[in-house]
Amino acid sequence: MAAIANDRKLMVLGWLFHLGGLATLVLGAFVYQFIVSGVLTHQQSANATAIAELEVLLETERHTEREFASLQEELVRLEASAEAARQRIPESPQESDFLAQISEAAIEKGLSIQNFTRGEVTVLETHSQLQIRLQGAGDYASVCGFFEKMKTFSRVATVNHLNLQIPANSEIYPLDMTLTLYFGARAPQEGNRG
C-alpha cells in the first residue's frame, strides 16, 4: 500500500508540475501580450509618427527646392531687367541730347515748345536725377502724339508733374510739365540690399 500511496503522491506531484508549467506558460503569454506586445505596438506607433513627420519634411524640402529654383529664375530675370534699364540711363545728364529729342518729337507732332528750364540735380545712392521743366502748347492731337512719341525714347525719363489747361475759346492747350531725367546709374552697395 505504501507503493500505491507513493505512486499517488508522484502522480499528484506530476500533475502539480504540469499545472505549474501551464501556469508559467499562461503567465508568460500574458506578459508577452500586455508588456512586450505593448512596447512593440508603442514603438511601431512612434515609428509611424516619425515616418509621417519625415514625409512632411521631405515634401516641404521639395517645395522649398522648387520655390528656391523659381526665385533664382526670378532673380536672374530681375537682374537682366535692371541691367537693361541701366543701359538706358547715361553716365551724365546729357540733357541737351534729350531736349533735342523732345524738340524733334514736338515738331513732328505739331506741338510748340516755348521754354525749357533746367532744374537741380539730385544724387541718390543708386542713381542721379535732373528735373527739367517744359512749357509748350498744341491741339489735342499734337499733345497726345507728343506723349506717344515720348514713349519710344530709349532714355529713361518720367513725367513728375503735368498741367494741361483747357481754354474755353481755343483748341490750343497750354502745357506745363516737369520731367525727371535719370543718369549715373550704379548698383546698390551689397550691405544695403533690401
Tens-place pLDDT, residues 114-125: 999 999 999 998
Considering the domain architecture, whether residues 185 and 115 belong to the same structural domain is answered as yes
154-179 burial, b for 16+ CB within 10 Å, e for fewer? ebbbeeeeeeeeeeeeeeebebbbbb
Considering the domain architecture, whether residues 121 and 67 belong to the same structural domain is answered as no
Check residue 191 and give its pLDDT.
54
> pLDDT tens across 58-106, in order?
888 888 888 999 999 999 998 888 778 778 889 888 989 999 999 999 9
Enclosing domain of residue 26 = 1-87
Considering the domain architecture, whether residues 155 and 69 belong to the same structural domain is answered as no
pTM here is: 0.56
What are the start-end ranges of the H helices in the chain?
A: 2-31, 37-87, 95-109, 140-150
> pLDDT tens across 31-52, in order?
777 777 777 788 888 888 988 8
The count of structural domains within the chain is 2
> pLDDT tens across 156-193, in order?
889 999 999 888 888 899 999 999 999 988 877 765 55
Considering the domain architecture, whether residues 68 and 114 belong to the same structural domain is answered as no
Q: Does 194 or 98 have the greater pLDDT score? A: 98
Decide which of 33, 59, 87 is a domain's last residue: 87
Check residue 194 and give its pLDDT.
46
Decide which of 47, 68, 87 is a domain's last residue: 87
Residue 145's φ and ψ, nearest 5 degrees, are -65, -40
